[in-house]
Structure 1
Amino acid sequence: MSFLSRIMVLKSRGHFSTGARGASPRKAGANFEGIRKRKAQQARNRVGIVIFGFAALYCVIGGRMVYYAMSEPQTTSSIPPADRLMASRPDIVDRNGALLATDIRTVSLFAEPHKIVDADEVIEKLSTVLHDLDIKGTYAKLSSKSRFQWLKRQLTPKQQSQILALGIPGIGFRPEKRRFYPGGPTAAHIVGYVNIDNRGVSGMERYIDSQGLADLAAVGMTSNQPLEPVKLSIDVRVQAIVRDVVASSIDKYKSIGGGAVVIDVHTGEILGMASAPDFDPNDPNANGPEGWMNRMTNSTFEMGSTFKSFTIAMGLDEKKITLGDSIDARFPIRMGGYTVKDFHGKGRFLSVPEVFQYSSNIGTAKIADAVGIPDHKAFLTKLGLLTRMKTELPEIATPSSPREWKKINQVTISFGHGVSTTPLQTAVAGAALVNGGVLHPPTFLPRTEEQATEFATQVMNPSSSKDMRYLFEWNGSRGSGRNARVEGFDVGGKTGTADKVVNGRYAHDKNFNAFLAAFPMSNPRYVVLSFSDEPKTDKGNGAALAATSAAPMVKEIIARSAPILGVQPSFGENGSALLVSY
């Protein structure tokens, strides 16, 4: 028998022997039923495992969804959340409701680099619309492994339409709000401007953020709903005049800077203020940082002979002099190696009005000496000339003065050298000289006379203020203030021509010229201060004086703005003449 045949026989025997040991058909059926139950149980176990697996998976997904819903959104410094991109800022308007700043809707262009196929092609197409596109920087963004990159912020509707027509995959637009300033540079240093993310950088824009808007934005509580407008104290008509005069003075006098302000003497409200060079808040970087400096509030200068107004007011208020007194101004004063002399010396005794009219350094120094150093310093501090001014604008410089006043310091400070203040401080203190001796902190927000009394401080006797009004009127009609005189508006004031300090020495060919004025002097309502930094004569061959540079600026401002401010002209004796013939 072959090997294969033997194997087949053995398998056959084994089969039949197994069947024989199966005992009976009943037992065979029972075995079959047990196998079926085991298989059914295994199937149920497998279905249970699958159900449990799916339940666990859904629990994990649900848990993650709850976690993401309750966690803070992840942002980067360059990609603000959508609600912040569309968050509103309040409009800024002038005292009459004229719009100075508002939000407009715009879009910004972004890219998803992981969807970009050919970065060079995208840049080539975008360059046909965005001519100022940074090619190198854009290529780096498009080639990165990030999933979001800003390409261009705040596009115009035309640019958006043109880019959409290019049909570039992997780029898109996100809605934003952009700040728009209808007046351009008219009130640039007052209103200020915002950055690319619509956050205040300077001026009243920054002030608004400091009042809580920035904090609300930081915690996501701002929205795109319109906010109540912020009304300023300025009158945009007066502001436009002041800015025009200041800007023109730079060209006219070839100066490096200029400024002017108009203040309500009874409330401290700023009706108009300008500093030049300035900038356009719609594009603050267009002319570089040169125009960002607000010289009216954020620069300090030696104000020159305008300070003689405060020295003489101090002498009157301290009862050291009266308007009828005379001061010996015959001889120069020699002190500590320095000689104090008069620019327009008369070589004789001068009455107090003549000391003011002829701007006598000798006479002013003797008045200060009669008062004494402690009281002199206290008086200037009381007028706010030696401390940092408090107002809404963030850009406020701190005055500088000697740490310890010696006799020579007092003498030079009496006529405006040796102490530096901001022009706005000088104007605010000047208002106190003519309004009855009340110091009103300056404000860029509307304020009634009743509200102003809450912040007012009586710094002089009313009688001393009355004497100062007489001196302002005297100098306006007979002295250096004649170039600021406007027919019918009774302008008075004091000029100040100060040599600038260059490399630690006074330069006689570089002046800082200012004019402090008030009108109408019969009942002052407004103070106007102007200045010209390093003006030249009309021939360009030397430094111009305040009487020929700063005073004419005040004259033009008053002539153009007085009717707008509601000041009625008065002609003839006691205003009896209604018309004047030219």
Structure 2
Amino acid sequence: GVGFLSESQRFYPGGPTAGHIVGSVNVDNAGLTGIEKYIDGEWLGDLQDLGFASDRSMEPVQVAMDLRVQHVVRDELMKAMDRYKAIAAVGIVLDVKTGEVVAMSSLPDYDPNDRAQALEKDRLNRATGGVFEMGSVFKTFTTAMALDSGKVGINDSFDATRPIRAAGRTISDFHGKNRILSVPEIFIYSSNIGTAKMMLATGIDKQQEFLGRLGLTTRLHTELPENARPLLPPKWNELAAMTISFGHGISVTPMQTAVAAAALVNGGTLLQPTFLPRSQQEAKELGKQVLSPETSRIMRYLFRLNVLRGSGRRSDVPGYTVGGKTGTAEKIENGRYVSDKRRNSFLSAFPMDDPRYVVLTVIDEPKPERSGVGATAGMNAAPMVGAIIRRAAPMLGVMPRFGEGEEPIEISY
């Protein structure tokens, strides 16, 4: 009366390399997280319940991820966490023409072969399942909003000589120039005062509408079940609008930030991200125009200018015309910002004359690499992007062009 029952058990040869994307299954091989849960929820679970798909080989499910690039991103995040003694890191590579997620890593991650690891709170997927204040990276969206509204032009200037007082709070600059700044200078010097004044010139209602248009005020939907809802201010008043303009007072997922940035550099088309393959033709039908191609062209110019002359210098890779914006956000503890704990990020794209990919890195509580140097985003998050692009760009078929891109791309004012 003793018989044998054959059972299959899921094994992941890649281990933790793409754990947060692939996800994991329970003891009955039912998807718990990631693409595993998506597939079961879409069709495979129903087939199994009906008695199909249990004793037949299924066609593999293809994902948009490039395993080589995924390995590079995870490897560079691990090196950076070790170098800067950080507690967590996130890296995303997004195709700006299709919205495909080419790579996404969040450390500490887990090995899907060891399901118990997934329950540890520090191993959550921060890329889509965690919301954070992104800091000065948000100045990218404020600048695009101001330019696209027509109320601010690239040749305009704003007075950043004195801090702004609003509702009993003072808004000042980290490294203030204490003078009148042009729009490109506000961007490359990362002026809080200048950015807030650009927002005020555009309008609070316009800010809400524009951030909503970029998908930064609602939950982002992807194939993964782990998608966190943004945290918005309880009252979107003048003070909240001013702090939001430079990335405080609103918390979004890193993936939302990357998706919105892709729209800023690809000609103004917002594409919902996907972890499954999508052709450029499909993307064209799904895309939504959210800002003018002219505004997108100016943003590409400012991105490149910031790498050549501003805080993003350490992200540059010869031949690849990298552009980007740094963000250094103080963390909140017990309801107060603390100056010695930061979450740094670098939002970038390459090549800036015709962007193909957005690369975003986030590093949590980095320490100075050595005594005497700072721990701002330009010193850690930007070099992380440079290292990823240097290794991954050839794999993605982006050929370097030397002798070009030393100057910002041409633009008509």
Q: TM-score, normalised by structure 2?
A: 0.95
In the other structure, the counterpart of 1:491 is 322
SS at match of 2:362: strand
Distance (Å, rounded) in 2 between the aligned partners of 1:454 and 1:523: 20
1:442 aligned to 273, 280, 296, which one?
Answer: 273
Aligned length: 406
Distance (Å, rounded) in 2 between the aligned partners of 1:530 and 1:284: 27
- What is the Cα deviation at residue 287 of structure 1? 8.1
Q: Which amino acid aligns with 1:491?
A: V
1:551 aligned to 382, 402, 406, which one?
Answer: 382
Q: Given the superposition, is the C-alpha separation of residues 283 and 330 from structure 1 closer, same or farther in structure 2, using an over 3 Å criterion?
A: same
SS at match of 1:480: coil
Distance (Å, rounded) in 2 between the aligned partners of 1:497 and 1:354: 18
Q: Does residue 248 in structure 1 map to residue 248 in structure 2?
A: no
In the other structure, the counterpart of 2:196 is 365
- What is the Cα deviation at residue 292 of structure 1? 3.6
Q: Given the superposition, is the C-alpha separation of residues 408 and 421 from structure 1 closer, same or farther in structure 2, using an over 3 Å criterion?
A: same
Q: Which amino acid aligns with 1:229?
A: P
Whether contact under 8 Å (1:368, 1:411) holds in the other structure is: yes
SS at match of 1:188: helix
Distance (Å, rounded) in 2 between the aligned partners of 1:366 and 1:431: 25
Largest Rg, 1 or 2? 1
Q: Does residue 350 in structure 1 map to residue 181 in structure 2?
A: yes
Cα deviations by residue, 1:455-509 (Å, 9 ceiling, x for unpaired):
2100000000000000001001110110100011010100000001111000101
Distance (Å, rounded) in 2 between the aligned partners of 1:307 and 1:451: 29
- What is the Cα deviation at residue 215 of structure 1? 2.3
In the other structure, the counterpart of 1:478 is 309
SS at match of 1:553: helix
2:251 aligned to 392, 398, 420, which one?
Answer: 420
- What is the Cα deviation at residue 341 of structure 1? 0.5
SS at match of 2:29: coil
Distance (Å, rounded) in 1 between the aligned partners of 2:241 and 2:122: 35
In the other structure, the counterpart of 1:461 is 292
Cα deviations by residue, 1:310-343 (Å, 9 ceiling, x for unpaired):
0000000001111111111111001111000011
2:206 aligned to 353, 375, 391, which one?
Answer: 375
Q: Which amino acid aligns with 2:49?
A: A
Distance (Å, rounded) in 1 between the aligned partners of 2:15 and 2:78: 14
In the other structure, the counterpart of 2:172 is 341
In the other structure, the counterpart of 1:451 is 282
- What is the Cα deviation at residue 547 of structure 1? 0.7
Q: Which amino acid aligns with 1:314?
A: M
Q: Given the superposition, is the C-alpha separation of residues 251 and 574 from structure 1 closer, same or farther in structure 2, using an over 3 Å criterion?
A: closer
Cα deviations by residue, 1:164-215 (Å, 9 ceiling, x for unpaired):
xxxxxx9875311011111111100000011111110100000000102222
Whether contact under 8 Å (2:107, 2:123) holds in the other structure is: no
Whether contact under 8 Å (1:342, 1:360) holds in the other structure is: yes
Q: Given the superposition, is the C-alpha separation of residues 573 and 288 from structure 1 closer, same or farther in structure 2, using an over 3 Å criterion?
A: closer
- What is the Cα deviation at residue 409 of structure 1? 0.2
SS at match of 1:532: strand
SS at match of 2:236: coil
- What is the Cα deviation at residue 218 of structure 1? 2.7
Whether contact under 8 Å (1:509, 1:543) holds in the other structure is: no
Q: Given the superposition, is the C-alpha separation of residues 298 and 322 from structure 1 closer, same or farther in structure 2, using an over 3 Å criterion?
A: same
In the other structure, the counterpart of 2:109 is 278
**Percentage identity across paired residues of the two chains:** 55
Whether contact under 8 Å (2:135, 2:248) holds in the other structure is: yes
In the other structure, the counterpart of 1:316 is 147
Whether contact under 8 Å (2:118, 2:124) holds in the other structure is: no
1:199 aligned to 30, 47, 51, which one?
Answer: 30
More helix by share: 1
2:359 aligned to 520, 528, 532, which one?
Answer: 528
Q: Which amino acid aligns with 2:286?
A: F
Q: Which amino acid aligns with 1:471?
A: L
SS at match of 1:231: coil
In the other structure, the counterpart of 1:218 is 49
- What is the Cα deviation at residue 225 of structure 1? 0.4
- What is the Cα deviation at residue 368 of structure 1? 0.5
Distance (Å, rounded) in 2 between the aligned partners of 1:281 and 1:216: 23
Q: Given the superposition, is the C-alpha separation of residues 399 and 314 from structure 1 closer, same or farther in structure 2, using an over 3 Å criterion?
A: same
- What is the Cα deviation at residue 433 of structure 1? 0.7
SS at match of 1:334: strand
Q: Given the superposition, is the C-alpha separation of residues 414 and 574 from structure 1 closer, same or farther in structure 2, using an over 3 Å criterion?
A: closer
RMSD: 1.7
Q: Which consecutive unaligned segments of at least 5 residues does structure 2 have?
A: 407-413
Whether contact under 8 Å (2:319, 2:405) holds in the other structure is: no
SS at match of 2:387: helix
Q: Does residue 511 in structure 1 map to residue 332 in structure 2?
A: no
In the other structure, the counterpart of 1:394 is 225
- What is the Cα deviation at residue 403 of structure 1? 3.2
SS at match of 2:181: strand
In the other structure, the counterpart of 1:326 is 157
SS at match of 1:259: strand
Whether contact under 8 Å (1:536, 1:542) holds in the other structure is: no
SS at match of 2:7: strand
1:568 aligned to 370, 385, 399, which one?
Answer: 399
Whether contact under 8 Å (2:84, 2:380) holds in the other structure is: yes
Q: TM-score, normalised by structure 1?
A: 0.68
- What is the Cα deviation at residue 344 of structure 1? 1.2
Q: Which has the higher contact order (CA 8 A, sep 6+)?
A: 2
Distance (Å, rounded) in 1 between the aligned partners of 2:3 and 2:327: 60
1:257 aligned to 88, 93, 98, which one?
Answer: 88
Distance (Å, rounded) in 1 between the aligned partners of 2:402 and 2:54: 56
Distance (Å, rounded) in 1 between the aligned partners of 2:274 and 2:260: 14
Q: Given the superposition, is the C-alpha separation of residues 354 and 377 from structure 1 closer, same or farther in structure 2, using an over 3 Å criterion?
A: same
Q: Given the superposition, is the C-alpha separation of residues 171 and 495 from structure 1 closer, same or farther in structure 2, using an over 3 Å criterion?
A: farther
In the other structure, the counterpart of 1:42 is none
Distance (Å, rounded) in 2 between the aligned partners of 1:514 and 1:574: 23
Q: How does 1:70-109 map to 2 (within 5 A)?
A: none
SS at match of 1:297: helix
